[in-house]
Structure 1
Amino acid sequence: MVFVVDRHHRPLQPCTPARARKLLAAGRAVVHRHTPFVIRLGDREVADSQVDGVELGIDPGSKFTGIAVFRADNTVRTGLFAIEVRHRGGQIRDRLTARAAARRGRRSRNLRYRAPRFMNRRKSDGWLAPSLRHRVDNTMAWVDRLRCWAPVCKVHVERVAFDPQVMQNPNIAGVEYQHGTLHGYEVREYLLAKWGRKCTYCGVAGVPLNIDHIVPRARGGSDRVSNLTLACVPCNQAKGATPVDVFLADRPAVLARIRRQAKLPLRDAAAVSTTRRALWQALAATGLPVEVATGGRTKWNRHQTGAPKTHTLDALHVGNLTAVRSCPGRVLVATATGRGRYARTCYDRHGFPRLRLPRVKTVRGFQTGDLVRAVVPAGKNKGRHIGRVAVRTTGRFNIRTSHALVQGINHRHVRLLQRADGWAYTREQERS
């Protein structure tokens, strides 16, 4: 479907692509936005049109969030538009860590004294780390955008609530909730109980056992209990720093058992659980009716309709429904890229400056991240290229298309389609 707004930029009922082409060809509409595609009517207003309204379904996640726009007829839904929002919380966490290391290094150098500024800082109620707040802000930014392009009248959100202890031990109950994973155990005793007091790789028992790293420390493995196991002396020496996939290449059943028994990483589950309340409060603050559903209900709905598991199809199946008439054929994938950095110096891995960025981000009227179209008449880049541009002070830009990176295009051949908004867009075929 295509989003439609009136001449005062107020949302109307979405229309089909065929209808949008007719309106554009007849001169009754113009392109309001390129991606997502929105047209603006010049001869119609909201008061002159019948607007039934649409609803939003949101499936929040740690790395991806699915959003579906659909038309609801009681409990029967018709999918109109789907978008998969890809967060960059991991990049934010890594950059904050690098910034802290750089500041720590500056404090240790022989520089002028600066009074500490962190003694009087207080965190407000409901404070979230920047990498977590980013997930909530991303989702709310797209909800606000969709409200500008479509007449949204209701929001359905899956309020995920993970219990990490139940995920590790489904039989936990009572006072055990007050005990940590290693309550009453030392690490060695915990590993002996977890792996059955026998070698994980060969299964021998009654022999001296060593603590082994599933992912070797030489290859980035940590000392967390989830990465520790038991191995006899011959297996431990034979494995050494070899990756477990290579060491057990001829024993796939043993490898599958170790992966299944090892503790699952719970970072993503903790991130979703931490942000679920903040997201629900932000949605309620919009003034729209917000219906909350569980992940179990979403899974049951998908099984009833026979839909595969994807982020956008989960968003379409959130809440109370009996049937789904149709699903969007293609999904718009929006990857958070940010709006650039304030830093003007890039450092190498040793901390030395290797590149100094210009003060001005605009070159020949373009900025990095703008959506452009380049028509090159001759040369090795001859052809028509559409994608995101990376500007250069020389005036020869690089364009990242959906297929490849085209380098060295003169700015005279480039035309602006849409200003950079902090997102990179691609389209993927939906499985239905």
Structure 2
Amino acid sequence: MSKVFVLDTNTRPLDPVHPGYARFLLKQGKAAVYRRYPFTLILQKVVEYPPVKPLRVKLDPGSRTTGIAIVNDVSGEVVFAAELSHRGQAVKAALDARRAVRRSRRQRKNRYRKARWANRKNQKKDWLPPSLESRIANILTWVRRLSRYCPIQAISQEVVRFDMQLMERPEMKGMEYQQGTLAGYEAREYLLEKWQRACAYCGEKDIPLQIEHIHPRAKGGTNRMSNLCLACEKCNRAKGTQDIAVFLKKKPEVLKRIQAQARQPLKDAAAVNATRWALFERLQATGLPVEFGSGGLTKYNRTTRKLPKTHWLDAVCVGKSTPERLQVNGIVPLLITATGHGSRQMCGVNKYGFPIRHRQRQKRYFGYQTGDMIRAVVTSRKNKGVYVGRVLVRATGSFDIRTKQGRVQGISHRFCTPIHRCDGYSYQQGAGHSFPA
């Protein structure tokens, strides 16, 4: 199982302990819960503790999900694993909606307003769009957070793809490089990402896939990426040299989806490429040694150790520092989803940009704010019982609690006890796996 983080009385990180020993410390009153996610204890008394063992945090950055793992380089034990889901798409959608509303307001015939189209200041050299900046901020937040709870001494990050051709002949460039020995390999990796590792026609996954020409070469089709997709052998044979419109005549929805996806660029890969070196530089600024590895090396490490492909296992296998034997049995990853800290918009508007409501300037009431995880023990009236979940606060002191069973309304703040303060993330335990030794 994943270990439990432990802090001494001065909040300095100690070696993580087994969950069974953590329960013993709590039962004996030797430790108290310091933080719920990730679960962390703090010792109540000063005791002699053996020297801590240095650990390494390993990162597999992705556009939508980033794998995180803490590994002991000597024993190969995986101490902690998590999968961090980003909110870059939500950030972009919010910015698009705001831009649409502002554009609508500016297009009205408001002659009394001065033009403000030329008031933009020069952007910083390392500026990134907010949707990409949020991804980097999420990863840095968790690296710093884990460093406070665990004796981390090094960082490993997956940065670039594996490219043996360039390593063998560094002087190669231009057309010679583009048409080299790895051109087909890179093309296949690109297509696997673009088509989500599934057959474009039937949608089957986890089967051998072949590169398929959407417009057949026999009828003038090219080898451009926009004309390539992936297909299983059965669909590839059935299509043959037919035009895709003829082959999918009875499936217009599939035809429309394939034509749209073929023209769509690989946005996720572009997001990772735009942020990888910026993240690397900011990790170096933490003062810890940073090792970078390629995607090819990660895949090699995972394949030779016979591990399935998941985000957290990819993180475990990042870099040359990966031990020969990894202890991954029973590890339950923590699923972390970035939710943000709310909106700074003080005036809600309708689709035309007109104000319809005003938000409260105060977030916290009676010591609680919306999103805090609480435990409420109601001793009387119709809501009598024990409830655990996230709270929705009101200025009146009558709160709502969102539990697994549903939403409970009208809980007084007097019955509430905080469990975990709102920190911009939601948490869920993943599924455990058993792997061959």
Local SS of the residue matching 2:341: coil
Q: TM-score, normalised by structure 2?
A: 0.74
Flag structure 2 segments of 5+ consecutive residues without an equivalent: 164-172, 180-212, 221-242
Provide the rounded CA distance (Å) in 2 between the counterparts of 1:330 and 1:379.
39
Matched with 2:79 is 80
Superposed CA RMSD in Å reads 3.3
How many Å separate the matches in 2 of 1:297 and 1:403?
44
Q: Which residue of 2 aligns with 1:68?
A: 69
Whole-angstrom CA distance in 2 between matches of 1:365 and 1:41: 26
CA distance in 2, matches of 1:363, 1:326: 44
Cα pair distance change 1:98/1:307, threshold 3 Å: same
Contact 2:376/2:387 (<8 A) preserved: yes
User: Are 1:196 and 2:196 counterparts?
Assistant: no
- Pick closer, same or farther for the CA change 1:235–1:401 going to 2, 3 Å: closer
1:388 to 384, 387, 390: 390
Percent identity of equivalent pairs = 41
Q: Distance in 2 between matches of 1:80 and 1:23?
A: 19
TM-score w.r.t. structure 1 length?
0.75
Residue identity in the other structure for 2:101: A
Residue 24 (structure 2) aligns with: 22
Change (3 A) 1:292 1:403: farther
* Partner residue in 2 for 1:167: none
Structure 1 residues 72 and 195 mapped into 2: Cα distance closer, same or farther (>3 Å)? same
1:28-39, aligned counterparts within 5 Å? 28-39=30-41
Distance 1:405 1:300 in 2: 47
- 1:200-279 paired onto structure 2 within 5 Å: 231=245, 243-244=253-254, 262=262, 265-279=265-279
| CA apart distance, 1:305 | 2.1
Which one of 360, 364, 367 corresponds to residue 366 of structure 2? 364
Q: Which residue in 1 is equivalent to 2:158?
A: 158
Is the contact made by 1:162 and 1:273 (CA closer than 8 Å) also made in structure 2? no
SS of the residue 1:11 aligns to: coil
Q: 3-state DSSP class of the match of 2:127?
A: coil
Residue 286 of structure 1 is matched in structure 2 by: 286
User: Cα deviations across residues 20-60 of structure 1 (Å, max 9, x unaligned)?
Assistant: 22222222222211221111113337x85411121111110
Asked if 1:11 is matched to 2:21, the reply is no
The letter for the 1-side match of 2:143 is V
**2:333 aligned counterpart, secondary structure:** strand
Deviation at 1:288, TM superposition (A): 1.0
Shift of 1:264: 6.5
Aligned to 2:225: none
- Secondary structure of the equivalent of 1:61? coil
Q: What is the CA–CA distance in structure 2 between the aligned matches of 1:112 and 1:364, rounded to whole Å?
A: 45
Alignment check: 8 A CA contact 1:84 1:334 kept? yes
Choose the corresponding residue for 2:411, options 392, 403, 409.
Answer: 409
**Matched residue of 1:13: which SS?**
coil
Q: Is the 8 A contact 2:330 2:433 kept in 1?
A: no
CA contact (8 A) 2:373 2:418 kept: yes
Change (3 A) 1:2 1:197: closer
Equivalent position to 1:430, from 426, 429, 432: 432
Quote the Cα distance in structure 2 between the aligned partners of 1:259 and 1:306. Answer: 37
Go from structure 1 to structure 2 and tell me whether the alpha carbon gap of 1:403 and 1:307 turns closer, same or farther (over 3 Å shift).
farther
Distance 1:161 1:355, change over 3 A: farther
Partners of 1:138 and 1:98 lie apart in 2 by 23
Aligned mates of 1:10, 1:300 — CA distance in 2: 36
What one-letter code is carried by the residue in structure 2 that aligns with 1:273?
N
CA contact (8 A) 1:336 1:424 kept: yes
Whole-Å separation in 2 of the counterparts to 1:260 and 1:345: 37
**Residue 113 of structure 2 aligns to which amino acid in structure 1?**
Y
Q: Which residue is equivalent to 2:335?
A: 333
Distance across 1 between alignment mates of 2:29 and 2:214: 71
How many residues get paired? 366
Per-residue deviation at 1:287? 1.4
Query: Residues 69-113 of structure 1, C-alpha deviation per residue, up to 9 Å, x if partnerless?
Result: 12221xx51111111111111111111112222222232332642
Deviation at 1:414, TM superposition (A): 1.8
Question: Cα–Cα, structure 1 residues 300 and 30, in superposed 2: closer, same or farther, change >3 Å?
Answer: same
Q: Aligned AA for 1:23?
A: L
Match for residue 187 of structure 1?
none
- Contact 2:4 2:18 (8 Å CA) reproduced: yes
Aligned partners of 2:372 and 2:390 also within 8 Å: yes
TM-superposed deviation, 1:333:
1.4
Q: Which residue of 1 aligns with 2:224?
A: none
Task: Evaluate the alpha carbon distance shift between residue 385 and residue 70 of structure 1 in structure 2; reply closer, same or farther with a 3 A threshold.
Answer: farther
Structure 1 residue identity aligned to 2:402: R
Take 1:160 and 1:406, find their aligned partners in 2: how far apart are those partners? 48
Shift of 1:308: 1.4
* Residue 18 to residue 113, structure 1, CA distance change in 2 (3 Å): same
